[in-house]
């Protein structure tokens, strides 16, 4: 914790200024205490006299020692921008938060393997099931799931992380005096107590106002090496996060959905524009270049395999095979073989690689 943390906290408690304004002050003065106590901002490019006067008026009402005490009395931890422990991935984005407040144990989270998961608040059962399957394939690894603690896909992502012994970070769009949505109160507690951390850039008293949710999204993607979009309409917060992911130079991935669902229109737009298609955990690991040991399943653990599918699965036990090789091994008709390969791929058991070759995923 740096000596001048109270000045970072004091500046973040001024609701009428944002992190970009604070960063400009800090970059100009190179010292947060000097920035806080400044009485002349006239030489900072692009900062109007009117905005400077407003800042002075608001700043003069603030006691940094009182602000520090209010945060600590609430049991809230924090990183300020100058902290060595401030997440490096987040520091590298445009307009990083000046302060990151958190509850829980963020040191448990592997910040070198962070995956953001975003999607519709009114997610379909198909999207939730597909996401549950993919996160389930990552169970007991050191990957950390990052999401926004909203209803729908966010909630599914956090719960699946917990159920599969993964750490998770929930990024909220308000201060800690508020729980939004209220239905996730217990989920907040579970994350804070055992499974990672809930974080926010907002001072404890800041409400979950509408404009803060898009601002929050840059922190979700900014903490993460890649973003997985589970379901998104053409006008959704998930698409905002997707664009931020690309702007931040991170990997963008999508789970395909039913083309009859309006909430998949954004998904297919992203896929057409080059996002990585994800049907299993292995696709994520390949896209991000991560090496983790996934738990291999036996035939008895696999979902509803018929006898012919079991033969195909056995055929792929040693190495990848193309369609001709599989037909020779299985003695199935080409029509039946292609049908089974398609259904097994949709179940996430196998995947197609290098043209018409297939390999096991589980």
Q: Mind listing the pLDDT tens digit for each residue in 330-346?
A: 999 999 999 999 888 88
Q: Is the pLDDT of residue 14 over 90?
A: yes
Mean pLDDT of all residues in the chain? Answer: 92
**pLDDT digit string, tens, across residues 84-94:** 999 999 999 99
Is the pLDDT at 72 greater than 90? The verdict is yes
Quickly list DSSP for 266-298: HHHHHHHTTPEE-SSHHHHHHHHT----PPP--
Distances from the Cα of 106 to the Cα of 69, 194, 273, 304, angstroms: 22, 10, 34, 39
Q: CATH 3.40.50.450: which residues of the chain?
A: 106-288
- Hey, what CATH class is 299-360 in? mainly alpha
- Of 289, 336, 275, the closest CA to residue 311 belongs to 336
The SS3 of residue 164 is: coil
**Stretch(es) of the chain classified as CATH 1.10.10.10:** 299-360
Q: How far is CA 38 from the centre of its chain?
A: 37
Q: What is the CATH number of domain 106-288?
A: 3.40.50.450
Task: Write down the number of H helices and E strands in the chain.
Answer: 16, 12
Task: Convert the pLDDT of each residue in 127-180 to its tens digit.
Answer: 999 999 999 999 999 999 999 999 999 999 999 999 999 999 999 999 999 999
**CB neighbour list of residue 193: distance below 8 Å, 6 or more residues apart:** 104
Would you state the pLDDT for residue 297? Answer: 53
Is residue 298 very low, low, confident or very high in pLDDT (cuts 50, 70, 90)? Answer: low
Is the per-residue pLDDT at 296 higher than 80? no
Neighbour tally for 203: CB within 10 Å = 23
Please give the model's pTM, rounded to 2 decimal places.
Answer: 0.81
């Amino acid at each position: 914790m740096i000596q001048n943390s109270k000045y970072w906290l004091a500046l973040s408690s001024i609701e009428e200024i944002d992190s970009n304004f604070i960063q400009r002050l800090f970059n100009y003065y190179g010292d947060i205490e000097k920035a806080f106590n400044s009485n002349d901002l006239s030489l900072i490019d692009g900062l109007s006299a009117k905005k400077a006067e407003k800042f002075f008026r608001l700043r003069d009402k603030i006691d940094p020692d009182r602000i520090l005490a209010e945060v600590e009395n609430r049991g809230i931890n924090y990183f300020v921008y100058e902290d060595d422990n401030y997440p490096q991935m987040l520091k590298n984005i445009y307009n990083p938060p000046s302060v990151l407040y958190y509850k829980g144990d963020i040191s448990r989270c592997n910040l070198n393997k962070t995956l953001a998961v975003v999607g519709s608040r009114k997610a379909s059962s198909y999207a939730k099931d597909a996401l549950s399957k993919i996160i389930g394939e990552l169970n007991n690894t050191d990957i950390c799931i990052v999401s926004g603690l909203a209803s729908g896909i966010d909630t599914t992502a956090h719960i699946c992380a917990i159920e599969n012994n993964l750490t998770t970070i929930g990024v909220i769009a308000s201060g800690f005096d508020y729980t939004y949505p209220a239905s996730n109160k217990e989920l907040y507690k579970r994350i804070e107590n055992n499974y990672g951390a809930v974080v926010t850039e907002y001072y404890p008293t800041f409400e979950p106002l509408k404009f803060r949710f898009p601002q929050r999204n840059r922190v979700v993607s900014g903490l993460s090496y890649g973003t997985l979009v589970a379901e998104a309409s053409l006008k959704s917060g998930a698409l905002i996060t997707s664009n931020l992911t690309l702007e931040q130079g991170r990997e963008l991935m999508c789970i395909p959905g039913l083309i009859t669902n309006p909430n998949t229109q954004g998904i297919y737009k992203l896929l057409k524009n080059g996002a990585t298609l994800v049907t299993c955990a292995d696709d994520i690991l390949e896209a991000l270049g991560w090496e983790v040991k996934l738990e291999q399943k036996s035939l008895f653990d696999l979902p509803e395999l018929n006898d012919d599918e079991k033969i195909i699965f056995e055929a792929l036990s040693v190495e990848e095979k193309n369609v001709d090789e599989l037909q020779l091994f299985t003695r199935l008709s080409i029509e039946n073989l292609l049908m089974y390969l398609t259904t097994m791929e949709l179940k996430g058991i196998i995947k197609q690689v290098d043209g018409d070759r297939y390999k096991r995923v589980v």
